[in-house]
Amino acid sequence: MTWLELKVRGLREEAAGILGIELCSLDATPLPFAWTAGAHVDVQLGGGLVRQYSLTNLPDEGCLRLAIKHAEDSRGGSRWLHQQLRVGTRLKVGAPRNLFPLHPGNTPVLLVAAGIGITPLLAMYRQCKVQQRPVRLLYFARSPAHAAFVDELQDDSAVTLLSGISAVQIAAQLRSLLPPWQAEQQLYTCGPDGFMQCVLAVATELGWPAAALHQEHFQPANEPAANQASGLELVLARSGKAVVVQAGESLVSAAARVGVTIATSCGMGMCGACMTRVLDGVPEHRDQYLSDAERNSGKWLMPCVSGCSGSRLELDV
C-alpha cells in the first residue's frame, strides 16, 4: 500500500466521545485522489497500528474528514487518536477505497444508521443531496448528546433523529419507520451488528429483497478459518518454503514461522493489505474485502483470516 503523509488541520468534538478530524496535505495542495461516498481510508497510528475509518465528506472540500468514537473496548486505535492528536500532527493515510458504494443512478435511497455507523452514511446522504437523489436518513443515537453532526441534520425534513431508544424498542420503531419496498429502492445500514441484523430482519418482513439491502461492518463478520486443524500444508512458492499450519493458526502466522513475511494491516480480512494470489488449492474465504468475482475465481485469498478447504494450499509469496 502507498502511504501519503497528511496533517491534522482541525479537530472538533462532534458529539460525546466522537472526535471529528480534518486532514489536509502538508503544503495545502489538492489531495492526489478522489473518492465516492462509503469509502474508507487506512490510517497508521502509533505503535504500528493501522486502522480503517470511513470518510464522512466528499472530495470537493479538498480534505479528508473522519469521525472517531472513543471505544471503551478500544484495541488501541481510537484511544490513541483521542489522546495524541493535535492540530498539526502528521498522519500517514492510504488512498481511499470503497467497499460500500451507493448503487449508481438516481433511484431512492434509505439510510439507517446507529451510533458511529453514521460516518459512511453521512457521506452517502451528502452525495445524494448533491446529486438531487431522493434520500431519507434514520439515525439512532444513544442520547441527544451522542448524536453527531446534528447541526447539519436536525432541521432537515429528510432526516429522522432518534435517541434514547432501548435495544428492545428498536424493532418496533423500525417497523413504524421503514417503508415497504418500492421498485429499485436501496437500503444501506451501518451500526452495531445486532442493530444491522434487526434492520435487515424488519426490512425483509416489509418485502425488501436481499439484493436491495446493504450493510457495512466495523468489526469482522466472520470467524477466521479454523480448518487448519486438519494439518494443512502451506507452500510458499516464491520463497521455496513449506510449512504445516497449526490448529487455530492463521496462514500469515504459519508463513512467518518459516521466515516469510506477508504484509498485513488490519489482520481482520477487511483492508486488503494481505491480498495474495493462490497458485493451487481451494480457498476458504473468511474476509470482507474480495469481490464476489475475485472470490469465485479461486485465484485470490486474504491469508490473515482465510484458509483452505483441502489439505494443500500454494500461495504466490
Per-residue CA distances from 269 to 143, 191, 220, 261 (Å): 32, 18, 7, 17
Q: Residue 195 is placed in which grid cell?
A: 442493530
Cβ of residue 187: shortest distance to ligand FES, in angstroms?
Answer: 26
Residue 84: how many CB atoms within 10 A of its CB? 11
Find the part of the chain contacting ligand FES (CB under 6 A) among 88-96, 114-122, 188-196, 258-266: 258-266
Among 270, 278, 290, 301, binds ligand FES (CB under 6 A): 270
> Between residues 76 and 179, which has the closer beta carbon with respect to ligand FES?
76
Q: Residue 29 is placed in which grid cell?
A: 495542495
Contact 118, 68 (CB under 8 A): no
Find the part of the chain contacting ligand FES (CB under 6 A) among 80-88, 111-119, 122-130, 272-280: 272-280
> Between residues 38 and 272, which has the closer beta carbon with respect to ligand FES?
272
Cβ of residue 21: shortest distance to ligand FES, in angstroms?
Answer: 22
Strand pairing report for 213-216 and 135-141: unpaired
Question: Rule CB under 6 A: is residue 117 a binding residue for ligand FES?
Answer: no
Question: Rule CB under 6 A: is residue 304 a binding residue for ligand FES?
Answer: yes
Among 81, 273, 313, 317, binds ligand FES (CB under 6 A): 273
d(CA 116, CA 218): 9
How long, in residues, is the chain?
317
State the angle between helix axes of 167-177 and 193-205 in degrees (0 to 180), rounded to the nearest 10. 40
> Between residues 14 and 287, which has the closer beta carbon with respect to ligand FES?
287
Per-residue CA distances from 60 to 37, 40, 215 (Å): 12, 16, 25
Question: Rule CB under 6 A: is residue 89 a binding residue for ligand FES?
Answer: no
Question: Rule CB under 6 A: is residue 274 a binding residue for ligand FES?
Answer: yes
Question: Rule CB under 6 A: is residue 300 a binding residue for ligand FES?
Answer: no
Cβ of residue 263: shortest distance to ligand FES, in angstroms?
Answer: 8
Among 93, 110, 123, 271, binds ligand FES (CB under 6 A): 271
Site size toward ligand FES, by CB under 6 A? 14
Among 265, 283, 284, 313, binds ligand FES (CB under 6 A): 265
d(CA 25, CA 8): 9
Contact 214, 107 (CB under 8 A): no
Produce one character per residue of 204-232: b if its CB has 16 or more CB atoms within 10 Å, e if not: eeeebeeebbbbbbbebeeebbebbeeeb
Question: Rule CB under 6 A: is residue 251 a binding residue for ligand FES?
Answer: no
> Between residues 128 and 273, which has the closer beta carbon with respect to ligand FES?
273
Among 17, 120, 224, 272, binds ligand FES (CB under 6 A): 272
Q: Give backbone dihedrals phi and psi of 133, rounded to 5 degrees, phi first.
A: -95, 135
> Between residues 185 and 264, which has the closer beta carbon with respect to ligand FES?
264
Cβ of residue 269: shortest distance to ligand FES, in angstroms?
Answer: 5
Cβ of residue 281: shortest distance to ligand FES, in angstroms?
Answer: 18
Contact 307, 226 (CB under 8 A): yes
d(CA 130, CA 133): 8
Strand pairing report for 276-280 and 3-15: unpaired
Catalog residues that contact ligand FES under the rule CB under 6 A.
264-267, 269-274, 287, 289, 302, 304
